[in-house]
Amino acid sequence: MNDPLLIALLVALAAAASALAAVFAMRGRQKGGAEFEAGVMRLASQQAELAGRLSAMADAQAKAQGELARTLNERLDQVGHRVGTSIEETSAKTVETLGNLAARLAIIDEAQKNITDLSSQVVGLQDILANKQARGAFGEVQLQDIVKNALPPSAYAFQVTLNGGTRADCLIHLPNPPGSIAIDAKFPLDAYHLLRNAKDDGERALAQRQFRADLLKHVSDISGKYIVPGETAESALMFLPSEAVYAELHANFSDVVTKSYQARVWIVSPTTLMATLNTVRAVLKDVEMRKQAGVIQKYVGLLLQDVGRLGGRVESLEKHFQQAEKDIRDIRTSADQITKRGEKIHDVELGEADAKEALTAARPSVERDLLASE
């Protein structure tokens, strides 16, 4: 009953009823009292009927509003439950995500710390490489690591003094030919940096000349110091401990490579040195197998002699078995004859005196049979 639309409708109907009552009153005054009263009665009846309908409509409206409110409350409860569940799930996922994020941030912090340490190590490495003596020691250490990983200890020696008084960084022991091969580590880093950092063609040309001159000097020194007739092989190795320097050399300085070939100095990088040492290891293995070939042949001959003696002893044993088999057959023949003689004696039915005479007469023949069987 509190619906504003319904109240407005009732007010409009009341106003219409009042207007109709005024109209009928005016007509009643004009036509007379009887008709006026009849009209008032009809109007009152219609007004009562209208009020009943309006009351029914109000009740239906109130019922519909209650149903609507209940439905809305249920829907709101469902929505609230879903929103609460969604908020809880979202909160749990948010907490999990924040935990994962914290773990990853910790990993990132650790990686940042490692990068910082690595940066300090790189700076330290740059300081080492800036000094020529330290740079040379760096190349020697790298050379030693590669050689130790590729060859057995008996196949190499470090810091070996040759007959001419020069000291090789490494000497690979190989049989003649070709003989021991000397390896010397060189690191022309200054000229390479000038070449990489050249800003114009003039600086690049100057750096190329210095790079070429440094490498050719190293090739000449190695060829003169580490190729010693009668002591080393007719060639030597120059180890460049940088793949970048080695790549630059073969890409843009083919004339230096050609002159190194002519001087019998083979320039190698860490990768190519490893491949070369693997080949050397195969050669050493082949040499060792050849050394052991004579020993193997000697023991094979001794083994054949043992097999021959074993065959003779088996043959002798076979003869013994054959003789034993013959003796067994002879013994069996004698036993059969003795059995037959005994049966003959058993079949003779004589007195005691006659039996003695028969045995005495039969003894020579039995002895002859025994002797014949033997």
Residue 172: burial class (beta carbons within 10 Å; 0-12, 13-18, 19+): buried
Cβ neighbours of residue 220 closer than 8 Å, sequence gap 6 or more:
263
Asked if omega into 229 is within 30° of 0 (cis), the reply is no
Name the token pair of 345.
Answer: 């004696």
Q: Give pLDDT, residue 358.
A: 53
Cβ neighbours of residue 40 closer than 8 Å, sequence gap 6 or more:
21, 24, 25, 28
Secondary structure (DSSP) of 224-277: HHS--TTTB-S-EEEE-S-HHHHHHHHHH-HHHHHHHHHTTEEEE-HHHHHHHH
Name the token pair of 72.
Answer: 């809305």
Q: Give pLDDT, residue 79.
A: 84
Q: Give pLDDT, residue 123.
A: 44
- Please say whether the beta carbons of 210 and 191 come within 8 A: yes
Name the token pair of 297.
Answer: 């042949």
- Please say whether the beta carbons of 314 and 322 come within 8 A: no
Quote the CA–CA distance of 178 and 235 in Å, as a whole number.
9
How confident is the prediction along the chain (374 residues), in pLDDT tens digits per residue?
Answer: 445 555 566 556 656 666 665 555 555 555 555 665 666 677 677 767 777 777 777 778 778 888 888 888 888 888 888 888 888 888 888 888 888 888 888 888 888 877 876 665 544 444 444 455 555 566 788 888 888 888 888 888 888 888 878 888 888 888 777 788 888 888 777 788 888 888 888 888 888 888 889 889 999 988 888 888 888 888 899 988 888 888 888 888 889 899 999 999 998 988 888 888 888 888 888 777 777 777 777 888 888 888 888 888 888 888 888 888 888 888 888 888 888 877 777 666 544 555 555 555 555 554 555 455 45
Quote the CA–CA distance of 191 and 209 in Å, as a whole number.
9
Quote the CA–CA distance of 59 and 68 in Å, as a whole number.
14
Q: Give pLDDT, residue 13.
A: 62
Q: Give pLDDT, residue 163.
A: 81
Name the token pair of 240.
Answer: 């460049």
Closest by CA to 246, choosing from 235, 256, 259, is 256
Name the token pair of 298.
Answer: 């000697």
Q: Give pLDDT, residue 74.
A: 86
